[in-house]
Amino acid sequence: MSMLEATKLRKSYGNKFNRQEVLKGIDIRVEKGEFISIMGASGSGKTTLLNVLSSIDQASQGTIWIDGHEMTAMKEKKLAEFRKQHLGFIFQDYNLLDTLTVKENILLPLTIAKTGKKEATERFNVIADELGIYEIRDKYPNEISGGQKQRTSAARAFIHEPSMIFADEPTGALDSKSASDLLNKLTALNQKRSATIMMVTHDPTAASFGSRVVFIKDGQMYTQLNKGDQSRQIFFQDIMKTQALLSGVQHEH
Amino acid sequence: MSINQLIVRNLKKNLKNYYLYVFALVFSAALYFAFVTLQYDPSMDEVEGSIKGAAGIRAASVLLIGIVTIFLLYANVIFIKRRSKEIGLLQLIGMTRRQIFKILSLENLILYFGSLVIGLLLGFAASKLVIMILFKITGVDAIASLSFSPQALLQTLIVFGLIYVFILLMNGLFIKRQNILALFRVMSTMEERGKRISVIEIIIGLLGIGLIVTGYFVSSKLFDGDFTSMTALFGAMIFILASVIIGTYLFYKGSVRFLFHLIRKQKNGYLTVNDVLSLSSIMFRMRSNALMLTVITTVSALAIGLLSLSYISYYSAERLAQQIVPDDFSLLNEKNAIALKQEFDQQNIAYSEKRIEVVMANVNVSKIMENDLEGDTFFSDNMLMPVISDQDTEGINVSPEDTIFSGYNDAVSKMMPFGDSGPVELLGKKDKIKQNYIGLERDYLLPLQFTSGGLPVAIVDETVFNRLKQDADPALQNEFSEYIGIQLADKTELDKANALFQEQGFDDTLQFSQLEAVNGQKQQMGLIMFIVGFLGLTFLVTSGCILYFKQMDESEQERGSYTILRKLGYTRGDLLRGIQIKQLFSFGIPLAVGLSHSYFAVKSGWFFFGSELWAPMLIVMLLYTALYSIFGVLSVLYCKKVIKDAL
């Protein structure tokens, strides 16, 4: 069963006279439990794709179905409702509220869904433990490191057990150690909770943690790679090669 | 793009952001010009004739300048800090400080003097309205004429020109002191957020609340007779002021945060969107704005307090007049009374006459005095009071053993309260007449000449009165021993009767018309109320603007949070509800504290000003709150826009 299905997705900015087309008819399908990465050069439209798929931005044309709901037919209020229950987000710049503590930040999605206080605390304990941020629960975001912030952000994305998690360059601001730490945790959560994750990245290492990589070029799907049974190392090599082909720049690897 | 184009573009953008600043500037310029025009207006002589009208208005205009200057300078600081990034950028691309200063000055010049011109035009138009309001409240009968005064224009231009120079100086200093790096950092260092509460803050928080409560407590005891000497009273007042103001500062510095922290702790991390937007945000912000909020709170408390007091006086003018002149016309001279009555008879004005014979006597009231003031300030064992017979009163009948007091001034009765009953002694020249004091009536029966400024009248039985009359001490008696009161049967003829009374041209000070007394009171209190009212209004507008600018800044800074929350799935409505709560606190806390301060201030001494506390005070407070809320609503609207653009 597919978790997300988008057909003939188009998105353009500007007015009638000065139109800039960013997405030029993309079809994409994500199965339940998949960890899919989207790669592409700057300006290829990958972040726009993510925004449109996650309902933060409106598509100009095309349809999007998530978990059996047609997103493109929903009104703004309904979309917000849907986001609150079915979607989780992780962003490059963490997007934590600096006036709230780590725990308060993580519990935020549960308060929208009006989950009971006791259950909320239990869920928090489990996820904070898994991501190793239980000890810093009463600290404020500006008192913790970037890696900890991103794990907090991840915990927030997972805590309400959404159908689908969107991650926009989650490792973009992290050093490689924190980045692989986070990705390992994400993979673990992906397997353990069979959560569907879609991640936009320009980092081949990050992309190699997923099970499939989709390449975008000039607003269109360029190609895609499946990890299958190969090891992460080999998958990484494949990604590098494709990326080189895509950009026309040869990497020394 | 040339520098001129840059200026024009900046202006366009600023005008949209700062329409309220422009409004406040226009408003204050208009008000100032109106005031100064009033000061030079020939028709003001009408008001000036009876009271020092122009002097009061001149003093008010000086205060007005003070308020406006502080407001404009403060607003300027907010604006320049907001634009510090832009200034840094201009420096980064190689503009000299002098050039940047020039750009800012030119922009300010256009914005400032543009508003000033509009303000002057409006002010000229409004001055007629203002003078009409003044005449209306003070009850002066004059036609408000509109005359343009070049003097007023010049004075306004000079004053606002000087303020402009001050603003330029400040901008210059700001640009000069900052280097490029610092300019980029201003925003982030302006406010601290995301820090945990420390023990010291908890102590500060508790201390703040404690100090305010102590101040309130002492103020309620102020005139209860606990402070007997003038020095002690004065010391207590200073103490109250200091304790409340410092308490207010600490309240903003720590208490708000401390209280919110307690609430938050209780929630154990489970915060709803309303909590997120209101509680957690305000917790950090109030602290960094403590000084500004303290000033705003204190001055609004002052404004509300003074307004309430002057309105109480104005409101109680009639009752105060009754105290001075108990009947429509009070006369102490037989000849004049006959003349006036003749006049009334001729004009067919129906009236009733009452005569009260008065004996002045010392009365020993020390046994019924509830708190004994220290002996040397006041002699409660021989208080000089007018004594009358119950025959001369309407509806009061006392037995030969009893005495009733009537018409005790509110202020004096607070200082020297009487018990419900007890023994008193009427002291004649030789004899002492022992009497039972059985109660206090509210009515004023005799004019001020008899009551030495607020003491009650003693009513005794006819026999006792006659005994006292035989034994009266001649040294204590006034030159007149009879009071003649004339009441009109038909109150609508009061104006006509009053005109006749005026025509008589009685030259001595032994007869009064109640209407005249009321008008006199109203004129005096009306002018004070007018001045305090307009100053209060100016202050309200300017402080409301400052809070609005602050909120504008905050919502810009919180735009990121709005984005996150909307991405997480909160609707605009959810966020707006949170914002409304936040604005309720941001505007409501200073307002509530200000109202409560002024309430206690008014309550401790209102009885010196009039006889009615609640109605006038509540009217003033409600009006202030309503006008003040406009700014809260405006900032909610602004936030609404920010939220809409956030995703």
B183 has a pLDDT exceeding 70: no
pLDDT above 90: percentage of residues in chain A: 4
Per residue in A63-94, pLDDT (tens digit) is 999 888 888 888 888 888 888 888 888 888 87
Average pLDDT along chain B: 81
- Is residue B8 situated within a structural domain? yes
Q: Provide the whole-model pTM.
A: 0.78
Domains belonging to chain A, first-starting first, are: 2-247 (3.40.50.300)
Contact in structure between B124 and B37 (CB atoms under 8 Å): yes
Domain boundary at B170, B190, B210, which?
B190
B114 has a pLDDT exceeding 60: yes
Could you tell me which chain A residue has the CA closest to the CA of B572?
A77
Instruction: Tell me whether residues A112 and B570 touch, CB distance under 8 A.
Output: yes
What distance, in Å, lies between the first and last C-alpha atoms of chain B? 31
Place of tokens 């004739």: B49
Contacts of A120 in chain B (CB under 8 A): 270
Q: Which of A225-239, B159-173, B555-569 has the lowest mean pLDDT?
A: B555-569
Burial (CB < 10 A; 0-12, 13-18, 19+), residue A197, is: buried
Instruction: Tell me whether residues A83 and B567 touch, CB distance under 8 A.
Output: yes
Per residue in A198-207, pLDDT (tens digit) is 999 888 888 9
Helix (H, G, I), strand (E, B) or coil at B38: helix
- Is residue B563 situated within a structural domain? no
Instruction: Tell me whether residues B194 and A108 touch, CB distance under 8 A.
Output: no
Domain boundary at B466, B496, B511, which?
B511
- What does the alpha-carbon distance between residue B547 and residue B75 come to, in Å, rounded to a whole number? 10
- Strands B402-406, B432-441: pairing is parallel
Per residue in A172-226, pLDDT (tens digit) is 878 888 888 888 888 888 888 888 999 998 888 889 988 899 998 888 888 888 8
Looking at residue B621, what is its pLDDT? Answer: 92
Contacts of B566 in chain A (CB under 8 A): 80
Nearest to A140 among B196, B269, B573 (CB): B196
- What does the alpha-carbon distance between residue B417 and residue B462 come to, in Å, rounded to a whole number? 27
Instruction: Tell me whether residues A80 and B561 touch, CB distance under 8 A.
Output: no
Per residue in A103-145, pLDDT (tens digit) is 888 888 887 777 788 888 888 998 888 888 889 888 888 888 8
According to DSSP, the residues that pair with B331 across neighbouring strands are: B484, B511
Contacts of A142 in chain B (CB under 8 A): 193-194
* Contact residues for B11 (Cβ-Cβ < 8 A; gap 6+): B107, B110, B111
What distance, in Å, lies between the first and last C-alpha atoms of chain A? 38
* Contact residues for B365 (Cβ-Cβ < 8 A; gap 6+): B380, B381, B383, B418, B424, B437
Nearest to B571 among A77, A85, A106 (CB): A77
Question: How many CA atoms are closer than 13 Å to the CA of B1, on its beta-carbon side?
Answer: 9
Q: Which amino acid is at B439?
A: G
The Cβ of residue A207 has, within 10 Å, a number of other Cβ atoms equal to 28
Instruction: Give the number of beta-carbon pairs within 8 Å between A and B.
Output: 94
Verify that B185 and B329 share a domain, yes or no: no
Look at the alpha carbons of B392, B395, B400, B405 in this order and tell me if their dihedral is positive or negative: negative
Contacts of A91 in chain B (CB under 8 A): 567
- Token representation of residue B443: 């009515």
Looking at residue B226, what is its pLDDT? Answer: 67
Nearest to A98 among B194, B568, B571 (CB): B194
Measure in Å the smallest separation between the Cα of B160 and chain A Cα atoms: 41
Q: Which of the pair, B529 or A253, is modelled with greater confidence?
A: B529
- What does the alpha-carbon distance between residue B514 and residue B318 come to, in Å, rounded to a whole number? 8
Helix (H, G, I), strand (E, B) or coil at B362: strand
- Is residue B472 situated within a structural domain? yes
Could you tell me which chain B residue has the CA closest to the CA of A141?
B194
- Is residue B42 situated within a structural domain? yes
Looking at residue B625, what is its pLDDT? Answer: 93
B46 has a pLDDT exceeding 70: no
DSSP letter at A14 equals: S
- Is residue B159 situated within a structural domain? yes
**Number of domains composing chain B:** 2
Q: Give B189's pLDDT tier (boundaries 50, 70, 90).
A: very low
Per residue in B525-556, pLDDT (tens digit) is 788 888 888 888 888 888 888 888 888 888 88
The whole-number average pLDDT for the span B578-602 is 90
DSSP letter at B145 equals: -
Looking at residue B162, what is its pLDDT? Answer: 92
Contacts of B194 in chain A (CB under 8 A): 98-99, 140-143
How is B428-478 classified by DSSP, letter by letter?
Answer: -SS-EEEEEEEEEE----S-HHHHTTTPPEEEE-HHHHHHHHHT--GGG--
Per residue in B415-437, pLDDT (tens digit) is 677 777 888 888 887 788 888 88
- What does the alpha-carbon distance between residue B317 and residue B311 come to, in Å, rounded to a whole number? 10
- Is residue B611 situated within a structural domain? no
Interface test with B, best of A99, A115, A119 (most B CBs within 10 A): A99
- Token representation of residue B541: 């507008």
Place of tokens 């006049």: B343
Partner A contacted by B555 (CB < 8 A): no
B290 φ, ψ to 5°?
Answer: -55, -45
The whole-number average pLDDT for the span B97-121 is 87
Residues of A with CB under 8 A from a CB of B: 56, 76-77, 80-85, 87, 89, 91, 95-101, 103-104, 106-112, 117, 120-121, 124, 137-143, 156
B16 has a pLDDT exceeding 50: yes
- Token representation of residue B253: 């510095």
Q: Give B185's pLDDT tier (boundaries 50, 70, 90).
A: low
Instruction: Tell me whether residues B568 and A89 touch, CB distance under 8 A.
Output: yes
Question: How many CA atoms are closer than 13 Å to the CA of B445, on its beta-carbon side?
Answer: 29
- Is residue B200 situated within a structural domain? no
- What does the alpha-carbon distance between residue B81 and residue B556 come to, in Å, rounded to a whole number? 13
Contact in structure between A110 and A142 (CB atoms under 8 Å): no
Instruction: Tell me whether residues A107 and B563 touch, CB distance under 8 A.
Output: no
- What does the alpha-carbon distance between residue B361 and residue B384 come to, in Å, rounded to a whole number? 6
Looking at residue B591, what is its pLDDT? Answer: 92
Contact in structure between B41 and B128 (CB atoms under 8 Å): no
pLDDT above 70: percentage of residues in chain B: 89
* Contact residues for A69 (Cβ-Cβ < 8 A; gap 6+): A82, A86
Name the H helices within chain A.
Answer: 46-53, 76-86, 102-112, 117-131, 146-158, 176-192, 204-207, 232-247
Contacts of A108 in chain B (CB under 8 A): 271, 276, 565, 568
B81 has a pLDDT exceeding 50: yes
Look at the alpha carbons of B88, B92, B97, B102 in this order and tell me if their dihedral is positive or negative: negative
The whole-number average pLDDT for the span A21-47 is 88
Domain boundary at B190, B207, B231, which?
B190
For chain A, the farthest-separated pair of C-alpha atoms sits apart, in whole angstroms, at 56
- Is residue B453 situated within a structural domain? yes
Looking at residue B45, what is its pLDDT? Answer: 60
Closest CA to B558 of B638, B642, B640: B642
A225 φ, ψ to 5°?
Answer: -120, 140
**Domain membership of residue B395 as a residue range:** 325-511
Per residue in B316-351, pLDDT (tens digit) is 887 777 777 778 888 877 778 888 888 888 888 888
B332 φ, ψ to 5°?
Answer: -120, 5
Could you tell me which chain B residue has the CA closest to the CA of A94?
B564
Per residue in B375-420, pLDDT (tens digit) is 444 566 777 888 888 888 777 788 888 888 887 776 667 667 777 7
Nearest to A89 among B276, B561, B567 (CB): B567
